[in-house]
Amino acid sequence: MKIMKFGGTSVGTAEAIQQTAGILVDAFHEMPDQPPVAVVSAMGGVTNLLLEHARAAADGDEDAGMRLHQKLLDRHFTALHDLVPDEHDRSALFEEIEQQIDRCTQLVESVSVLRDLSPRAEDWIVSFGERLSSVLVAGTIEALGVRSTPVASDSYLVTDGVFGGASPLMEESRRRAHETFTPLLSSRTIPVVTGFFGASEAGVVTTLGRGGSDYAATVLGALLDATEVVIWTDVDGVLSADPRLVPDARTLSTISFAEATELAYFGAKVIHPRTVQPAIEYGMAIRIRNTFNPEHPGTRMGPEPAKNGSVKAITAIGGVSVVTVEGAGLIGVAGITARVFSAIGRGGFNVYMISQASSQHSLSFAVRGEDAPAIIQLLEDEFELDLIRQRLLRIWEDPGVAIIAIVGAGMRGTPGVSGRLFMTLGDARINIVTIAQGSSELNISCVVNESEIARAVPLIHQEFGLAEGDAPGD
């Protein structure tokens, strides 16, 4: 069983879809009795387009629906025109695509009537990007002479119903996945499955979060007992740094699940942070490969701990705020830390890193900038009495910062790594706001001003000799 996921760039234009369909058709011809299962993202930029127009509609823009309609038609019809030469087949696909676009436009128009975009409506609207791309990709495969059909993932992926960040219910989904896919595969049909979303038990569409198609692919792999999931994207694999910041970043041939999770968690966009979870739990390997350079073997992710090397990769995440809770009252008051983090947990917010400096009676933690105001409000409510009694003096936010993390299992027990990191930043006169080291010693992270990312990341990458042509660290 082969699961192949193709991201937004890999289905972003007619040429890219042609390339994607070619990879799938080649895999099919290798083993026609076991067709690959494709999982696709929306055409690059379409998810953002849907969100922007839905939000504009909620703000009272009455033309948002019509504008969206036109843009979706242009984008998908142009691609379809280049991809399916047969006029009869093409007009059937035109119709299917137009119906989906009409449906989506109606939803956006209802949003502008209501002037309200609920999380439920938003998830439903953004699911149309994948619904449309799956029709295009399946149509292209058929035009290449192999049977293929689009599959909307709300037909089998049952979720817990949490909008914008749903989790799959595996047992129920497994039964439905087998019902959906077994007949297709045994009739030698390539299913082209929408990534990104599923539906609650009541059938309400729920997305897995932005970038969630990677996760959708490994979840499907787990449901269908796949041994490997290939994530096809627009770079050769997991690189030692974001290639947009470090052009000579090196492709890592292998990386452990634990390392990949750390990288994803601290901003490496190449995989969604939850992608490896099903792989660990159900024993699959993950490979990252380049749709536009299919000769390259890519990066293999597996459970094996790294054997050698120290720092493997560096990543950065911007748009972060540091929230600090400070006061003499923090000293010796057992349970304050617990109260801080249980309040944040109740709000469902994610904390990137924590540092506590007892000499200054303060506790600082890094969170997404957009979450900071709500977190501060939660803490002010939680500590209302303490604030009145002045036991806790202040709670404040330092916005506009970024976290830089260096990742590598080989750092464990290697002395001097953090020294080199901080020396590099010090020599460049880049101020460090806070520091944390994961207790697993898989990562060392620090907070700097967001404006320093572009300078700091290449310098650290160079200091640890991670570039292409340097001695390999993996």
Give which of ligand ADP, Mg ion, ligand ASP, none residue 352 binds (C-beta under 5 to 8 Å, depending on kind): none
Nearer to ligand ADP, 39 or 64 (CB): 39
* Among the listed residues 216, 231, 230, 233, the one whose alpha carbon sits nearest the alpha carbon of residue 278: 216
Give which of ligand ADP, ligand ASP, Mg ion, none residue 9 binds (C-beta under 5 to 8 Å, depending on kind): ligand ADP
Stretch that binds Mg ion, among 7-15, 90-98, 362-370, 389-397 (CB under 5 A): 7-15
* Among the listed residues 41, 457, 466, the one whose alpha carbon sits nearest the alpha carbon of residue 239: 466
Stretch that binds ligand ASP, among 40-48, 57-65, 139-147, 237-245 (CB under 6 A): 40-48
CA-CA distance, 457 to 451, in Å (whole number)? 11
Cα angle 463-466-471, degrees, rounded to a multiple of 5: 110
Q: Dihedral angle at the C-alpha atoms of 368, 372, 374, 378, nearest 10 degrees?
A: 110
Nearer to ligand ADP, 38 or 241 (CB): 241
The helix (run of H) or strand (run of E) holding residue 65 is: helix 64-83
Cβ atoms of residues 392 and 325 within 8 Å? yes
Cβ atoms of residues 233 and 9 within 8 Å? yes
Does 326 participate in binding ligand ADP (rule CB under 6 A)? no
Give which of ligand ASP, ligand ADP, Mg ion, none residue 268 binds (C-beta under 5 to 8 Å, depending on kind): ligand ADP
- The minimum distance between CB 138 and ligand ASP, in angstroms, equals 17
Stretch that binds Mg ion, among 57-65, 167-175, 206-214, 417-425 (CB under 5 A): 206-214
Does 195 participate in binding ligand ASP (rule CB under 6 A)? yes
Stretch that binds ligand ADP, among 62-70, 155-163, 185-193, 237-245 (CB under 6 A): 237-245
Cβ atoms of residues 165 and 172 within 8 Å? no
Site string for ligand ADP, 37-76 (x = CB under 6 A): ----x-----------------------------------
* Among the listed residues 384, 375, 380, 385, the one whose alpha carbon sits nearest the alpha carbon of residue 345: 375
Q: What is the DSSP letter of 243?
A: T
Nearer to ligand ASP, 90 or 210 (CB): 210
Site for ligand ADP in 238-277 (CB under 6 A): 238-239, 241-244, 263, 268-270
Does 196 participate in binding ligand ASP (rule CB under 6 A)? yes
Nearer to ligand ADP, 206 or 315 (CB): 315
Please pick, from the candidates 150, 198, 212, 327, the single residue that binds ligand ASP as defined by CB under 6 A.
212
Nearer to ligand ASP, 126 or 387 (CB): 126
Nearest to ligand ADP by Cβ — which residue? 7
Please pick, from the candidates 12, 129, 165, 329, the single residue that binds ligand ASP as defined by CB under 6 A.
129
- The minimum distance between CB 218 and ligand ASP, in angstroms, equals 12
- The minimum distance between CB 7 and Mg ion, in angstroms, equals 5
Please pick, from the candidates 210, 269, 339, 420, the single residue that binds ligand ASP as defined by CB under 6 A.
210
Does 72 participate in binding ligand ASP (rule CB under 6 A)? no
Does 211 participate in binding Mg ion (rule CB under 5 A)? yes
Q: What is the DSSP letter of 398?
A: E
Cβ atoms of residues 441 and 466 within 8 Å? no
* Among the listed residues 134, 142, 144, 140, the one whose alpha carbon sits nearest the alpha carbon of residue 14: 140
Which structure tokens are listed for 469?
Answer: 């042509």
Which structure tokens are listed for 296?
Answer: 């390259």
Does 235 participate in binding ligand ADP (rule CB under 6 A)? yes
The helix (run of H) or strand (run of E) holding residue 299 is: strand 299-302
The helix (run of H) or strand (run of E) holding residue 150 is: strand 148-151
In 10 A of CB 243, how many CB atoms? 16
Residue 351 carries which side chain, given as an amino acid letter? V
CA-CA distance, 197 to 124, in Å (whole number)? 9
Around 53, how many Cα atoms within 13 Å sit in the side-chain half-sphere?
27
CA-CA distance, 15 to 296, in Å (whole number)? 19
Q: Count each helix (H run) and each strand (E run) in the chain, helices first.
A: 15, 17
In the β-sheet with 394-407, what is the strand arrangement from edge to edge?
A: 353-357, 362-368, 313-326, 394-407, 443-449, 432-437
CA-CA distance, 175 to 162, in Å (whole number)? 21
Stretch that binds ligand ADP, among 6-14, 330-338, 411-419, 452-460 (CB under 6 A): 6-14
Please pick, from the candidates 9, 10, 20, 47, the single residue that binds ligand ASP as defined by CB under 6 A.
47
Stretch that binds Mg ion, among 106-114, 207-215, 347-355, 369-377 (CB under 5 A): 207-215
Site for ligand ASP in 8-27 (CB under 6 A): 8
Q: How many residues bind ligand ADP (CB under 6 A)?
A: 21
Does 195 participate in binding Mg ion (rule CB under 5 A)? no
Nearer to ligand ADP, 229 or 241 (CB): 241
CA-CA distance, 23 to 126, in Å (whole number)? 27
358: Cβ contacts below 8 Å, ≥ 6 apart: 331
Does 165 participate in binding ligand ASP (rule CB under 6 A)? no
Residue ranges in contact with Mg ion by CB under 5 A: 7, 211
Residue ranges in contact with ligand ADP by CB under 6 A: 7-10, 41, 211, 233-235, 238-239, 241-244, 263, 268-270, 313, 315
Residue ranges in contact with ligand ASP by CB under 6 A: 7-8, 41-42, 47, 129, 195-196, 210-213
